[in-house]
């Protein structure tokens, strides 16, 4: 029997990421209306138009990356035996980077410095000067819409974004004038992308073990100052976006290795010789790269062979006399590069939540065209309660993560525009690692469920979901694993002496109390159920982390439980607030959701199994009561080999 004689599948259809996603429109609409009411329609209309542009332009470019041989390739030597270290990328990858550049996916979140001409164009909403703190939310919403068809090009642009912020905070006037116009340019022929080189073989996430060393290019006999040139020697183990133009890198400027991370300084290293600063005539400098190599004291050891993010050229780099400029104060490198991490972690969350949106759209679209036999009758998957139940769980998780992710972007905008209160700054410091970690490990679970919902078709490489699963798995590692980020949250609690946690508890309770009036008319029983569950959570947190001082034990398992509790409750409270907003009258015509559906979503997340609150509380109780012994964990995780 020929293929054209048997049943054929009906392919699923994709829309743009805005018109097909009411949950996204509602949360963005609420946050914009509450913070920039005069610009709400302009912002929402701009996002709707940009979503269509992505579907029409970036999606075909992403398809070019699926052609055979489109993954990046390293050519170390040419046919004459000369070292050239040429990194070749595909037409699709370069086109997607140009798309991000032209549409200002970094620049729209910033002010006019370095991009005055671009913010004045008709397709720009004007950045910080016009949108204030909402400029960040708007910028990340655009990245969110682009991400599913991006082939992870936001990776180099997230580091570029971080470099811009670092220069804003710590760059000299000369450095800002030299580098910001390049990093913020919307002309692909002149724009720069920046990397971030931190990870080394010895240290992994512990940058205090950095071996890379920096030596002044010219001994001046004075104290080092920003802008001084150094030669840098070392080996960077994970260096993403080697096809970029510059990178921020940590290197040791003190010979005293006992200083750990306090002996590290931050440098901006132009990737290519043609872009490095002029070498002073008094300098004793030997270029250790081949004359035929374009790189600035850099040898590309190899490209990483990764499970996912296959189109991102990630390299192992030998720094053999790279010339770099000191950024900020000597010995303050770790504190200064934290500005990059705060931004790249939010980009990680962006890609993850956007991947759930696309996965859910694909699985839902498939369910509306795929019929299977149920009691002898063909039935669409969408009409089978068991199938709808599993996808509904993904939908609940997606809606909850939106409520964790977008408010975090708004807090970042407030911090960058100087409108954040000290309370806001502590909340941002706490929620950034919480958001990144929690979103990362929930995303892979959601995508796997969507693959399962499509059966064999979901497992096919031509389907976007397997690639989405491989690509988002890296977010559980890049920029800190959930365990590392949990320890970061614990440090915040110690540094603020518990103030950050107490403020968060107070604010969560206040939001729920303020929402009760609007929601009681929707369903009093559900409102009371949420209140009882949250009271139980607050009591458990108080018992463990405030009265019990669990974090003082040094047992990192308490930190992981705390991170999950903060994430689940923050997103759940956001769902409650969203439902109350939809139930409340407004004089501004902005699309709102179904308050009843949104309240049901909050109940399922907070009180049901979807959020995982009860499971997390049970694990915390086991830790507190000594029932979950570390010795048993060790035996189960590392069984002896016979």
Residue-wise pLDDT for 345-400, tens only, equals: 999 999 999 999 999 999 999 999 999 989 889 999 999 999 999 999 999 999 99
Q: Which positions ≥6 away from 387 have C-beta within 8 Å?
A: 367, 381, 453
Please, what is the average pLDDT of the chain? 95
Give the number of other Cβ atoms within 10 Å of residue 351's Cβ.
27
- CA trace torsion 518, 519, 522, 524 (10° rounding): -130
**pLDDT band, residue 627 (cuts 50/70/90):** low
- CA trace torsion 325, 327, 331, 333 (10° rounding): -110
Is 445 found in the same domain as 387? yes
Residue finishing a domain among 134, 157, 183: 183
Residue finishing a domain among 125, 153, 183: 183
- CATH number of the domain within which 341 lies: 1.20.140.10
Query: Would residue 506 count as lying in a domain?
Result: yes
Is 394 found in the same domain as 300? no
What's the mean pLDDT in 489-508? Answer: 95
Specify whether the backbone of 607 is left (phi greater than 0), alpha (psi in -120 to 50) or beta. Answer: alpha
Tokens of 214: 């920096």
Please name the helix (run of DSSP H) or strand (run of DSSP E) that holds residue 572, with its range, or none. Answer: helix 556-583
630 CB burial (10 A radius; 0-12, 13-18, 19+)? exposed
Is 229 found in the same domain as 248? yes
Query: How far, CA to CA in Å, does 357 sit from each of 139, 209, 240, 360, 578?
Result: 18, 39, 26, 5, 18
Distance CA 353, CA 447 (A): 10
Give exposure, 113-125, as e/b (b: 16+ Cβ within 10 Å). bbbeebbeeeebb
Residue-wise pLDDT for 258-307, tens only, equals: 788 888 999 999 999 999 999 998 999 988 999 999 999 999 999 999 99
What phi and psi, each to the nearest 5 degrees, are found at residue 327? -105, 125
What's the mean pLDDT in 22-45? Answer: 97
Lowest-pLDDT choice from 79-88, 155-164, 262-271, 630-639? 630-639
Distance CA 639, CA 642 (A): 9
Distance CA 556, CA 463 (A): 39
Is 561 found in the same domain as 415? no
Is 472 found in the same domain as 395? yes
**pLDDT band, residue 635 (cuts 50/70/90):** confident
| Under 8 Å between Cβ of 561 and 616 | yes
Query: Would residue 642 count as lying in a domain?
Result: no
pTM: 0.96
Q: Which positions ≥6 away from 453 have C-beta within 8 Å?
A: 363, 366, 367, 381, 387, 390, 391
Residue-wise pLDDT for 171-210, tens only, equals: 999 999 999 999 999 999 999 999 999 999 987 778 888 9
Is 547 found in the same domain as 447? no
Is 511 found in the same domain as 478? no
Query: Would residue 4 count as lying in a domain?
Result: no
Tokens of 59: 């999606």
Is 432 found in the same domain as 540? no
Is 157 found in the same domain as 45? yes
Is 294 found in the same domain as 229? yes
Q: What is the DSSP letter of 171?
A: -
Query: How far, CA to CA in Å, does 136 sit from each of 52, 141, 193, 290, 559?
Result: 21, 8, 19, 43, 29
Query: Would residue 225 count as lying in a domain?
Result: yes
- Which candidate, 447, 364, 362, 368, places its Cα nearest to that of 401? 447
Is 395 found in the same domain as 267? no
Distance CA 386, CA 471 (A): 28
Residue finishing a domain among 310, 333, 356: 333
**pLDDT band, residue 641 (cuts 50/70/90):** low
Query: Would residue 188 count as lying in a domain?
Result: no
- Residue by residue, DSSP assigns 375-389 as TTEEEEGGG-HHHHH
| Under 8 Å between Cβ of 22 and 593 | yes
Number of domains the chain contains: 4
The owner of tokens 């974090």 is 551
- CATH number of the domain within which 211 lies: 2.40.110.20
Query: Would residue 1 count as lying in a domain?
Result: no
Query: Would residue 2 count as lying in a domain?
Result: no
Is 309 found in the same domain as 275? yes
Residue-wise pLDDT for 595-617, tens only, equals: 999 999 999 999 999 999 999 99
**pLDDT band, residue 642 (cuts 50/70/90):** very low
Tokens of 184: 């913020």
Query: How far, CA to CA in Å, does 256 sit from each of 219, 249, 263, 331, 459?
Result: 19, 19, 7, 12, 53
Q: Is the pLDDT of residue 25 over 60?
A: yes
Domain range for 254 is 194-333
Beta bridge partners, 196, equal 248
Query: Would residue 409 count as lying in a domain?
Result: yes
Distance CA 414, CA 403 (A): 17
Distance CA 66, CA 241 (A): 19
Residue-wise pLDDT for 326-352, tens only, equals: 999 999 999 999 999 999 999 999 999
Q: What is the model's pLDDT at position 70?
A: 97
- Which candidate, 453, 284, 236, 235, places its Cα nearest to that of 365? 453
Residue-wise pLDDT for 109-157, tens only, equals: 999 999 999 998 988 999 999 999 999 999 999 999 999 999 999 999 9
């Amino acid at each position: 029997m020929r293929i054209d004689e048997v049943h054929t599948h009906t392919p699923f259809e994709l829309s743009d990421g805005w018109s097909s996603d009411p949950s996204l429109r509602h949360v963005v609409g609420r946050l914009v209306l509450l913070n920039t009411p005069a610009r709400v329609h302009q912002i929402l209309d701009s996002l709707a138009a940009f979503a269509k542009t992505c579907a029409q332009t970036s999606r075909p470019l992403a398809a070019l990356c699926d052609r055979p041989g489109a993954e990046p390739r390293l050519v170390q030597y040419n046919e004459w035996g000369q070292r050239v270290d040429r990194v070749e990328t595909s037409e699709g990858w370069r086109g997607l980077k140009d798309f991000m550049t032209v549409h200002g996916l970094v620049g729209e979140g910033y002010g006019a410095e370095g991009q005055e001409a671009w913010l004045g164009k008709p397709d720009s909403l004007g950045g910080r000067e016009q949108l204030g703190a909402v400029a960040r939310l708007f910028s990340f919403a655009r990245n969110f819409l682009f991400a599913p068809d991006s082939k992870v090009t936001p990776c180099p642009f997230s580091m570029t974004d971080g470099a811009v912020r670092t220069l804003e905070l710590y760059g000299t006037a000369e450095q800002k004038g030299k580098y910001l116009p390049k990093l913020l340019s919307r002309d692909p022929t002149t724009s720069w992308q920046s990397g971030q080189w931190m990870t080394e073989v010895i240290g992994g996430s512990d940058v205090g073990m950095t071996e890379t060393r920096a030596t002044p290019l010219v001994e001046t006999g004075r104290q080092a100052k920003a802008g001084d040139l150094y030669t840098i020697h070392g080996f960077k183990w994970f260096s993403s976006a080697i096809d970029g133009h510059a990178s921020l890198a940590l290197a040791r400027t003190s010979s005293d290795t006992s200083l750990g991370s306090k002996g590290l300084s931050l440098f901006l290293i132009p990737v290519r010789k043609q872009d490095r600063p002029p070498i002073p005539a008094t300098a004793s400098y030997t270029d250790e790269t081949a004359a035929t190599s374009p790189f600035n004291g850099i040898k590309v050891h190899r490209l990483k062979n990764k499970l996912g993010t296959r189109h991102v050229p990630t390299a192992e780099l030998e720094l053999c006399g790279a010339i770099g400029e000191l950024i900020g104060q000597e010995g303050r490198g770790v504190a200064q590069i934290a500005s990059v991490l705060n931004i790249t972690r939010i980009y990680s969350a962006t890609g993850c939540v956007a991947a759930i949106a696309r996965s859910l759209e694909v699985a839902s679209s498939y369910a509306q065209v795929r019929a299977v036999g149920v009691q002898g009758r063909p039935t669409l998957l969408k009409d089978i309660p068991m199938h709808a139940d599993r996808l509904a769980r993904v939908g609940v998780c997606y809606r909850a993560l939106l409520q964790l992710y977008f408010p975090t972007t708004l807090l970042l905008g407030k911090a960058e525009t100087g409108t954040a209160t000290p309370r806001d700054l502590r909340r941002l410091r706490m929620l950034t690692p919480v958001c990144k970690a929690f979103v990362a490990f929930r995303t892979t679970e959601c995508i796997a469920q969507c693959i399962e919902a499509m059966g064999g078709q979901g497992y096919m490489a031509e389907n976007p979901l397997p690639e989405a699963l491989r690509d988002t798995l890296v977010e559980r590692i890049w920029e800190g694993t959930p365990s590392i980020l949990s320890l970061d949250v614990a440090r915040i609690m110690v540094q603020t002496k518990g103030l950050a946690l107490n403020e968060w508890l107070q604010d969560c309770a206040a939001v729920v109390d303020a929402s009760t009036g609007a929601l009681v008319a929707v369903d009093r029983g559900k409102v009371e159920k949420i209140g009882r569950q949250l009271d139980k959570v607050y009591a458990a947190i108080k018992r463990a982390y405030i009265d019990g001082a669990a974090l003082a034990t040094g047992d990192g398992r308490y930190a992981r439980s705390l991170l999950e509790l903060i994430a689940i409750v923050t997103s759940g409270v956001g769902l409650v607030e969203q439902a109350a907003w939809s139930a409340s009258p407004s004089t501004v015509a902005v699309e709102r959701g179904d308050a009843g559906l949104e309240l049901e979503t909050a109940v399922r997340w907070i009180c049901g199994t979807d959020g995982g609150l009860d499971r997390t509380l049970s694990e915390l109780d086991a830790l507190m009561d000594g029932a979950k012994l570390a010795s048993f964990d060790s035996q189960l995780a590392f069984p002896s080999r016979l």
